[in-house]
């Protein structure tokens, strides 16, 4: 009992220390500055920035938006997000992202007439990559979001609304469960369908090896050449 009480006191003191040193306004300003300098994009964090200790250590952020490259036009916005980190790697000064949760995101992906994407700068590796951040994520959860793809080459627009995505482990090589649902629409060709997909994935980026297993999918709605479609795959 004494040991348990002492552990609680130490944990409470550690949390109090971290919270006392946590300066949300300073972090917002620094992150905004870094994004502008490294990516030439404007980041606006309008919602609160808070530390979370349950169910894991992390940061929760409210409304935020990110602009297009060298433009004030909005690229992505979201209602809220939470990023949690694994505790043990922090002891060796390494940040390993545990889980990412995003709600109410709206993003527009554009392929310009010259074939370039509006996320080309985000996909390009940093000139000075940080050795402190490791790409090893336990899972990603996206709810109530929307992704729009505008193809200026083909003159078509595609969208996935009411988008929900739940994944397992993500890294340079990983495998895990996958659940995806969305309302898919397109103008060329005319498409309006509810899509649900579940299964397991396995991939290795270095070996360019990708696989899906135990795949189950349902498609209901209108696809090119098919109306009133009710399709189930397993």
State the sign of the Cα–Cα–Cα–Cα dihedral 83, 105, 137, 183.
positive
Segment among 100-104, 126-130, 176-180, 218-222 with least mean pLDDT: 126-130
pLDDT at 89 over 90: no
The pLDDT of residue 72 is 93
Percent of the chain with pLDDT over 90: 61
Average pLDDT, the chain: 88
**193-221 as b/e: b if 16+ CB within 10 A:** bebebeeebebeeeeeeeeeeeeeebbeb
The gap between the terminal CA atoms of the chain, to the nearest Å, is 54
**Of 196, 197, 187, 194, which Cα lies nearest the Cα of 228?**
194
Q: Is residue 55 reached through a cis peptide bond, with omega within 30 degrees of 0 on the bond before it?
A: yes
For residue 80, the cross-strand partners are 103
Task: Answer whether 27's CB lies under 8 Å from 43's CB.
Answer: no
Q: What is the pLDDT of residues 31-64, one digit of tens each?
A: 899 899 989 999 999 989 888 877 678 889 999 9
Q: What is the pTM of this model?
A: 0.83
If one compares 127 and 71, the residue with the highest pLDDT of the two is 71
pLDDT at 78 over 60: yes
Q: What is the pLDDT of residues 118-175, one digit of tens each?
A: 999 988 776 666 555 667 888 999 999 999 999 999 999 999 999 999 999 998 899 9
Q: How confident is the model at residue 219 (pLDDT cuts 50, 70, 90)?
A: very high
CA–CA separation, 111 vs 109, rounded Å?
7
pLDDT at 208 over 80: yes
If one compares 191 and 15, the residue with the highest pLDDT of the two is 191
CB proximity list for 118: less than 8 A, separation 6 or greater:
68, 69, 75, 108, 109, 110, 112
Question: What single DSSP character describes residue 117?
Answer: B
Helices (H) and strands (E) in the chain, counts: 4, 17
The pLDDT of residue 204 is 93
**152-178 as b/e: b if 16+ CB within 10 A:** eeeeebbbbeebebbbbebbeebbbeb
């Amino acid at each position: 009992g004494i040991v348990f009480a002492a552990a609680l006191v130490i944990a409470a003191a550690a949390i109090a220390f971290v919270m006392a040193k946590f300066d949300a306004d300073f972090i917002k300003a620094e992150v905004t500055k870094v994004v502008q300098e490294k990516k030439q994009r404007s980041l606006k964090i309008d919602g609160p920035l808070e530390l979370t200790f349950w169910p894991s250590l992390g940061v929760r952020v409210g409304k935020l938006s990110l602009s297009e490259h060298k433009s004030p036009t909005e690229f992505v916005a979201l209602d809220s997000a939470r990023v949690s980190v694994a505790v043990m790697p922090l002891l060796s000064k390494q940040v390993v992202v545990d889980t990412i949760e995003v709600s109410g995101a709206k993003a527009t992906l554009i392929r310009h007439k010259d074939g370039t994407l509006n996320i080309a700068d985000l996909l390009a590796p940093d000139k000075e990559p940080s050795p402190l951040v490791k790409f090893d994520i336990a899972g990603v959860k996206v709810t109530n979001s929307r992704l729009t793809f505008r193809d200026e080459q083909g003159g078509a627009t595609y969208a996935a609304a009411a988008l929900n995505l739940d994944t397992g482990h993500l890294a340079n090589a990983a495998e895990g469960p996958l659940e995806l649902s969305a309302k898919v629409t397109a103008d060329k060709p005319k498409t309006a369908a509810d899509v649900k997909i579940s299964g397991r994935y396995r991939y290795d980026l270095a070996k360019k090896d990708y696989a899906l297993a135990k795949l189950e999918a349902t498609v209901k709605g209108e696809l090119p050449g098919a109306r009133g479609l009710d399709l189930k795959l397993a």
